[in-house]
Structure 1
Amino acid sequence: MTSQPELFRNSSPNLPDGLRLRTVATEHGLITLTLARSRRRSIGFVIGTEGLRVTAPYWVSLKQIDEAVVEKAEWIQKKLAFWRQRNAVADQAQQSWLACTQLPYLGTTISIDIDTGSKVPRFDGDPFSPQTQDTLWLALPHDATAEQRSAAAAHWLQTQALHYFDLRIHALANSAGLQFQAWRLSRARARWGSCNSNGSIRLNWRLIHFTPDIIDYVIAHELAHLKQMNHSDRFWHQVGIILPDYEAAMQKLKTTDMSALPALQT
């Protein structure tokens, strides 16, 4: 059996008082965990960025805890593998921000760099018609941290999203003779857009990574809800009135996982 890879955030043995590291041998490999005691009535398992944490009642013996880990070993190892991969991707993304990097913007890959002599960010191309050779220059010191670079890029992208989406939502609404109450940016983790019964629309700012046809589709989708607060045939007919030939953009968006987008500080 091989030991569990040390790819978790809190792999140091310097744990807070009341916590202890423990390793359990199972047929699925060694499992290292952080053990905590509490007044809870049963053994609890939590797997996340810092690995496996087991919380057990004071009266449960170590042997019983080990047996519970062995029983759930296959599930535990699958979850640990998922979080190791997620942590590795996050670490890689973090490191990439320490050097010149790239970002998808309106369907094009632009470069990101730092201009230490500038007080505001600048884009050396057409902000609404970017080209692959264009660069976003962040107004940061040369020793800016990865978090500062990421946050500055996210702020610029959100500003561009605010302006670009505003142009498109008014253009599409006007062409279809529709009126909405208001709209704003969203930071939702699992939704590209929404529209409530009061006519207020929210658009996920991360849509700014995508091509204009996908952005138009999401906007048309939410505008159609002004007429049909459902996904009936009448609703999709309304989407087609607002944006003919929307199907290709819809299919492209369906294959996009939000977790695959750049990990930006917001």
Structure 2
Amino acid sequence: MKCADSTRNDMGQVLQLDLFAADPVPVETAPVPAARPSQAPPEITVVATPRPPTLPEGARWREVRTHEQVIGFILRRSRRKSIGLVINDDGLHVTAPGWVTLAQVDATVAEKSRWILGKLQIRQARQEQLAMADTHWQDGGNIPYLGKRIILKLGNAHDGHAFEGDAFKPRDGDILRLPLPGTAEHQRVRDSAHAWLQLKAAEWFGQRMEHFQQSSQLQARRWRLSSAATRWGSCNSDGNIMLNWRLIHFDHAIIDYVVAHELAHLKEMNHSREFWREVGRILPGFEQARNALRQHDPATLPLI
């Protein structure tokens, strides 16, 4: 996961800087040359690779026994110059030039079996997570809010949302009543809950921005919420700050860290030692919150 900040180059163009120095999310494609089977790798959990109900036109189903398990995949021929591996919703797709033999294709799958199975595990976990998400968006479902798990209740008789608890100091089990009938579809429940969460994000982030701007003597030109899929926050050289509304799922310490991080960029538009000293000046002891946030990708929320 990444957050990003921006600056301008010598031509005046706005550039983006990574908020974290964490490794990027692995790419889902891996063009590789034909290779020999690898030596026995460490044990990997068995992942199901079932044949899909239908195959693309011109494709065939093939299975290869590797050191870890049998891997099934869809094989297609193309004019490309090397063998390509892609993981998508149907599993593993292998694209190979017409001159590459089936033995070479099989050898490549065996060579890359650890990469393939690792990606398939991520895909499987993501699918399970998406399937589980539907249980959140229904009467009695629970969602993360300011570090706690709150319960959704449908059939609210009021005209709007009603939160039974302290909106900014929630406790596990507090109830958010949505103005929807008990039979509302999952998408309507999700959209209604998101609307309330975004409203609370604007209120709480605004309070924290004001607090840290006063204490740090740093002033953003303006700030607003974002729905970025890959960034928790950003700051550009014009002094504009954006904060991902999904931060409202996390506890106060993590939100404070992102606010302090972006404000520090108003003084140091980089990630130098001086920048991190500035973050520490604004928010002493920020390291724990930073490390906790590094474990999450904006794209996975609120599926946690």
Task: State TM-score, norm by structure 2.
Answer: 0.72
CA shift in 2, pair 1:98/1:131, >3 Å: closer
Q: What corresponds to 1:180 in structure 2? A: 220
Q: Deviations over 1:131-158 (max 9, x none)?
A: 3342112333433333433333233212
Q: Deviations over 1:204-226 (max 9, x none)?
A: 22221222233223212211221
Q: Deviations over 1:24-52 (max 9, x none)?
A: 23333211112223222222101233310
Given the alignment, which residue of 286, 296, 299 partners 1:258? Answer: 296
- Would you say how many aligned residue pairs link Structure 1 and Structure 2? 257
Runs of 5+ consecutive residues of structure 2 not aligned to the other structure: 1-45
Within-5 A mapping of 1:239-250: 239-243=279-283, 246-247=284-285, 249-250=286-287
Counterpart Cα distance in 1 of 2:126 and 2:239: 38
Is 1:26 matched up with 2:66? yes
Please report how far the alpha carbon of residue 96 of structure 1 lies from its aligned counterpart in structure 2 after TM superposition.
4.2
CA shift in 2, pair 1:77/1:231, >3 Å: closer
Amino acid at match of 2:90: E
Please report how far the alpha carbon of residue 241 of structure 1 lies from its aligned counterpart in structure 2 after TM superposition.
4.4
Amino acid at match of 2:102: L
Are 1:110 and 1:134, in contact at CA under 8 Å, matched by a contact in 2? yes
The secondary structure found in structure 2 opposite 1:35 is strand
The secondary structure found in structure 2 opposite 1:131 is coil
Counterpart Cα distance in 2 of 1:95 and 1:202: 30
Please report how far the alpha carbon of residue 240 of structure 1 lies from its aligned counterpart in structure 2 after TM superposition.
4.4
Q: What corresponds to 2:133 in structure 1? A: 93
**RCO higher in 1 or 2 (8 Å CA, sep ≥ 6)?**
2
Amino acid at match of 1:86: R
Given the alignment, which residue of 227, 235, 238 partners 2:267? Answer: 227
Is 1:205 matched up with 2:245? yes
Structure in which a larger fraction of residues adopt helix: 1
Identity %: 45
Task: State TM-score, norm by structure 1.
Answer: 0.81
Q: Deviations over 1:236-258 (max 9, x none)?
A: 44434434xx31x4313312321
Counterpart Cα distance in 1 of 2:112 and 2:59: 21
Counterpart Cα distance in 2 of 1:17 and 1:163: 53
Q: Bigger CA drift: 190-199 or 119-128?
A: 119-128
Please report how far the alpha carbon of residue 173 of structure 1 lies from its aligned counterpart in structure 2 after TM superposition.
1.1
Are 1:106 and 1:210, in contact at CA under 8 Å, matched by a contact in 2? yes
Runs of 5+ consecutive residues of structure 1 not aligned to the other structure: none
Is 1:193 matched up with 2:233? yes
Are 1:4 and 1:32, in contact at CA under 8 Å, matched by a contact in 2? no
Kindly report the root-mean-square deviation, in angstroms, between the aligned alpha carbons of the 2 structures.
2.9
